[in-house]
Amino acid sequence: MKAAFFLVLLLITFNVAEAQNTPPRKPCMAPECSQFDFWLGEWDLTHSDTVHASNHVTREMDGCLTHEHFDDPSTNYRGESWSMYNPMIKKWQQTWVDNRGGYIALAGVFENGEMALYTEPFTLNGKRTVNRMVYYNIKKDSFDWRWEGSADEGKTWKQNWLIHYNRKK
């Protein structure tokens, strides 16, 4: 009986020591979790060859979150987005909020060198509509971004906004 007690005590001590020596698990280490890394950094945003805004994009929450800080001082338009890869649904999810009361929730994937995030369908002026943003032409120091809408369930898309990103030097 005494030997069994000491054996149990030894096993408990070993398991506690092993748990203390095991580094904590990093939940956002899957390869998909770094698909938005191209966006990290400081950016000048142009539309029609004129700098209109800037973006400051960081990785936060132990590497799980991509956080965007958008600023267009000429129009006093500011917004932030939070993007995270959700392994449960195998998609990126993004939430955007801005100083004009805007709120947009999107989800999508990185495929064929492009990140495409979609809104859920909604009714606008009596038409079922879906919007998407697409990050494309991705290079180390630049990429393009477009905001599009579709009123035919994604069969055709109308470009509403096109922005070119250049990394600040």
Q: Is residue 15 part of a domain?
A: no
Residue 112, token pair as written in the block: 């064929």
pTM equals 0.82
Q: Is residue 9 part of a domain?
A: no
Alpha helices, DSSP H only, in 75-123? none
H or E element that contains 158:
strand 158-167
Q: What is the pLDDT of residues 89-144, one digit of tens each?
A: 999 999 999 999 999 999 999 999 999 999 999 998 888 999 999 999 999 999 99
Q: Is residue 155 part of a domain?
A: yes
H or E element that contains 57:
strand 50-60
- CATH code of the domain covering residue 90: 2.40.128.20
Residue 37, token pair as written in the block: 């890394």
Q: What is the pLDDT of residues 41-89, one digit of tens each?
A: 999 999 877 778 999 999 999 999 999 999 999 889 999 999 999 999 9
Cα 10 to chain centroid, rounded: 47
Q: Is residue 61 part of a domain?
A: yes
Range of the domain at 54: 31-167
pLDDT at position 5 is 47
CA dihedral 56, 58, 61, 64 (to 10 degrees): 120
